[in-house]
Homo-oligomer: A and B are copies of this chain.
Amino acid sequence: MIVTTQATITSEQSVLLQAHLERLGTNALPLEWNGAQNYVLGDTALDEHDIHALTALGADRVISLKQQYQVVSRAFQPANTIVNVSGVTFGGEQVPVIVGPCSVETEDQMAAVVAGARRAGCTMIRGGAYKPRTSPYAFQGHGELGLELLCDAAHPKGLPVVTEIMDIRELDAFMKHNVDAIQVGTRNMQNFSLLKELGATRIPIILKRGMSATLSEWLMAAEYIASGGNSQIILCERGIRTFETAYRNVLDVTGVIVAKKETHLPVIVDPSHAGGKAWMVAALAKAAIAVGADGLLVEMHPNPKESWCDADQALSIEEIEDLVPQLDAVAQAVGRSILA
């Protein structure tokens, strides 16, 4: 249950309102959302008398939600959240394509990536600095040096960046290098400590769905971030785990449309991890746009065969240049666009 407040509420009223909520035994949690004050209540039963009293104290709406997720649900906020990542917007008519390598390797590599992205009409760069690798003996990423190479390549050309955080102790470095958006990876989707800390920032977060996370778990992970007051959340579907062995994951297009119905947050798709093979990316990316995705996150490498990780799934710069107009055609067919 969420209690919103009237636009005209004063801070004195707000104190009285919260005190009254506590007297009602509601365990009210104050939550600022897009500049307005709200209170998230537990499973509390309020009667008409209670609601009348709350309204007199400055409450606006008392919203009862049947799902566990509250602030991220469309029942709370019917309008789309538009997430603005240093000028690139997710959740509107435009469908941004984020490209870049699995891991940041060298200055030359990143220069080529950024130049290629601009030629292709892609407006944001990805690249891994802290890498969650299945094996402790595999390359674990350049760490802070990776952040530096990534930002030094992209920022001067006016492109924002996103990169994955694995440990909250890395956050200072992310802020020092002005990382524009932080990715929470599949394996950390339910790392609640990390989510809470990111909720305390106001940096845009790209929250990947866990390999076998239900829609509800995914949205509750977003709720962890949102409950700290950070509304800048982008959900990212990246393929789910199934019984099938002939391909690594199944891109869950059904999940994309249900997510977009249940939440006001933008939902983007990572067709590279969803397929696991470069030859699948084009068709999956088209399906994602056709189904209504608000953006794409695509692995691109100047020389995929030389990629230090995930070599099988990266597209070359030329392939991306070839693909983007095709994606734009599909976007146009569903009333949206990729190229400005």
Residues of A within 8 A of B (CB): 27, 29, 40, 42, 68, 70, 132-137, 166-169, 187-188, 190-194, 196, 211-212, 214-217, 220, 223-224, 227, 239-247, 249-255, 257-258, 261-262, 274-275, 279-280, 283-284, 286-292, 326, 329-330, 332-334
Contacts and interface: CB of A to CB of B under 8 A. Distances in A.
Contacts of A70: 137
Contacts of A220: 134-136
Nearest to A276: B254
A289 B334 CA distance: 12
Nearest to A279: B261
B168 A192 contact: no
Nearest to A71: B136
Q: Pick from A168, A194, A253 the residue with the most CB of B within 10 Å.
A: A253
A328 to B, nearest CB: 9
Contact of A136 (B136, B137, B227, B258): B227
Nearest to A29: B137
A135 B67 CA distance: 11
Given A250-B254, A251-B253, A287-B287, A167 B193 contact: yes
B241 A254 contact: no
23 contacts: A27-B137, A42-B137, A132-B190, A136-B220, A168-B169, A187-B191, A188-B190, A211-B212, A214-B243, A239-B254, A240-B250, A242-B243, A242-B252, A244-B255, A247-B255, A250-B250, A253-B284, A254-B274, A257-B284, A283-B291, A286-B290, A287-B288, A333-B333
B191 A137 contact: no
A139 to B, nearest CB: 10
Given A212-B212, A242-B243, A252-B250, A283 B292 contact: yes
A192 B244 contact: no
Contact of A254 (B135, B215, B217, B275): B275
A231 B204 CA distance: 40
Given A134-B68, A212-B212, A254 B284 contact: yes
A246 B291 contact: no
A258 B247 contact: yes
A244 B214 contact: yes
Given A136-B224, A251-B254, A253-B287, 10 more contacts: A29-B137, A68-B135, A166-B192, A216-B246, A240-B242, A242-B243, A247-B255, A250-B252, A253-B283, A257-B275
Nearest to A225: B136
A133 B254 contact: no
A254 B242 CA distance: 12
A245 B254 CA distance: 12
Contacts of A326: 333-334
A100 to B, nearest CB: 21
Contacts of A136: 192, 196, 220, 223-224, 227
Contacts of A280: 254, 257-258
B253 A135 contact: no
A220 B284 CA distance: 25
Contacts of A262: 246
Contacts of A135: 68, 220, 223
